[in-house]
Chain A
Amino acid sequence: MRPKGGHAKRVAASSLRSRMDKSVSPYIYIAPFFVLFAIFGLFPLGYTAWVSLHDWQLAGDSTFVGLDNFAALFADPDFWNAVANTLGMFVVASVPQLLIALLLASLLNRPLRGLTFLRMGVLAPMITSIAAVAIVFSQLFSRDAGLANWMIGLVGVEPIDWQADKWSSWTAIAVMVDWRWTGYNALIYLAAMQTIPRDVYEAAELDGASKARQFWRITIPMIKPAVIFTVIMSTIGGMQLFTEPLLFGQGELSGGSLRQFQTVAMYMFQQAFEEFDYGYGSAVAWMIFILIVLVALVNFLVSRRMSGVDK
């Protein structure tokens, strides 16, 4: 309703409200997150940082040692092994996963029959229990009687002890991770694709652009924020990989007889809770944080460039 009569006064008042609203309201809208974080997030963060500066045994005493834990970490071959494993598994798992998710989303973005069923079907892994996942994939990659070895046997390859080597364990774990998360990412892409108006495609079609060209030149750039989102989230998730390698190794935190597939998160957990070295484990946690920030930054810059020049 437009204000009538006393117009100038009301305009002035509403202009003041509107200015206040513009300057104050954004902070109010983002405040809930920060309030909760201040209570439930800040203390654990600070505590972990504090603990990492101590030789702190879970059962026992703690003595302040400054940055000794971090110095020890730099010289720790098991830590760097875990870093290499994590990065390796991340690349092997995430690159195919996001590409397949893009493909899946574009396939689901068509007028097809039974669409709801198909679209939801790819999310089934998210509601499958961890216990079932563990059993199915243990059977799949079992050395003596597993489906995977049976399949490669069909083409004449010797059975593989999947847990014995880096490359085989990374592949198996990548399969587990991709199985679980591809549909999830596909759905995120799909929801973003749905905001692209049909006439953009129609115009391109009239111009003679092929489906593939339309995909790379129209779809991807227009869903760039979603792509960046999935790249960053899968980076964060990949660097924190914990559940899948643990299940693959029958719940052993060591990740293989020679730590073939131990991730940094598993190493951190092992140090803190299996070896009771809480201080050292906390230091590992902060190193993981730094690692994630670095890798996420790199991936963010790369994906921003690759999906087209935009803001």
Chain B
Amino acid sequence: MIKQNRLVYLTLLIAIVISVFPLYWMFVIATRTNDVVGQYPPPMTPGGELGANVARLFEAEQANFALGMVNSAIASVAVTVSTVFFCSLAGFAFAKLRFRGRNALLVLILGTMMIPVQMGIIPLYMVMVKLGWQNTLQAVVVPFLVSAFGVFLMRQYALRAVPDELIEAAIVDGSSSFRIYWSVVLPALRPGAAVLALFTFMGTWNEFIWPRAVLEADNPTVQFSLSQLATEYYTDYTLMFAGTLVATLPLLAVFIVFGRQIIGGIMEGAVKA
């Protein structure tokens, strides 16, 4: 029994080390000076330059880093809240309610995920020009308020996580479907919703191609900001990674908060009769 546990721990430890290593190395470089970056073997231990590098980060005019962080925070929160709400609602509808065309519409939603996004940039930019939204925050928020991915994920969770009997009982009780959603389904969906919230926040925070296309350097989101730290012919890695490190901190915070939600919801679900 104990031996098996040891094996489990060892496997997990190896998995963690592999997963975390590049992140750790990023941190190491952010605390060093530039002459050690190209070294072989590369440096493995942190240095003392973090403060200096972070100061340079916020002073870099071309990057507008502070604004980038703020813009990304607003965008990520807005998109996450909206996505979790609307996608869990739609997911519930697809999973538990019966209506005409349900399967066809679901397949349609799935289909929208199968179109390569890169070709959509130019026409979507045209839409933004028509709306007058170039270089605005709404351009990076509004198109993403509900996602096909989220609807699909929530539907899959709702299939299993919500017992049909509970819904039947609520219907007999005379509850409206929204009430059923709010009091019965949403609590049961908590782990799934937390997963969606986490992924959506991370996805929006890490988004680069579309913000680069529609925004300018004076109103960036954080990844665009980071790309402005580079120069054409030489990359100041310590600066770059100091920026990346600071940009990762909010993600880490969200990670921990939602991690607890997932675990919390998980424990509830596990004890269910």
A interface residues with partner B (beta carbon < 8 Å) = 14, 17-18, 21-23, 25-27, 29-30, 32-34, 36-37, 39-41, 43-45, 47-48, 104, 107-108, 110, 112, 115-116, 118-133, 135-136, 139, 145, 179, 183-184, 187-188, 190-192, 194-195, 197-199, 222-223, 225-226, 228-229, 232-233, 236, 239-240, 242, 265, 268-269, 272, 278, 281-282, 285, 288-289, 292-293, 296
Question: B interface, by DSSP: helix, strand, loop or mixed?
Answer: helix
The 9 closest A-B pairs by CB, nearest first: A44-B120, A47-B123, A194-B266, A44-B123, A40-B143, A225-B156, A121-B16, A29-B93, A26-B99
Provide the residues of chain A in CB contact with B161, threshold 8 Å: 195
If A18-B171, A108-B12, A119-B262 are given as contacts, then 12 extra A-B residue pairs at C-beta distance below 8 Å, sorted by A number, are: A29-B92, A36-B145, A37-B112, A40-B124, A43-B127, A44-B119, A116-B263, A124-B16, A124-B23, A128-B248, A197-B273, A242-B118
Provide the residues of chain B in CB contact with A229, threshold 8 Å: 152-153, 156
Provide the residues of chain B in CB contact with A128, threshold 8 Å: 22-23, 26, 248
Provide the residues of chain B in CB contact with A33, threshold 8 Å: 86-87, 90, 109, 146-148, 151
The listed residue (A32, A107, A121, A129) touching B19 by CB distance below 8 A is: A121
> Of B53-61, B70-78, B174-182, which binds chain A?
B174-182
Look across to chain B and name the residue whose beta carbon is closest to the beta carbon of A145: B40
B interface residues with partner A (beta carbon < 8 Å) = 5, 8-9, 11-12, 15-16, 18-23, 25-26, 40, 42, 86-87, 89-90, 92-94, 97-99, 102, 105, 109-120, 122-124, 126-127, 142-143, 145-149, 151-153, 156-157, 159-161, 171, 174, 176-178, 181, 191-192, 194-195, 199, 202, 206, 208, 226, 237, 240-241, 244, 247-248, 251-252, 255-256, 259-260, 262-263, 265-267, 269-273
Provide the residues of chain A in CB contact with B112, threshold 8 Å: 37, 41
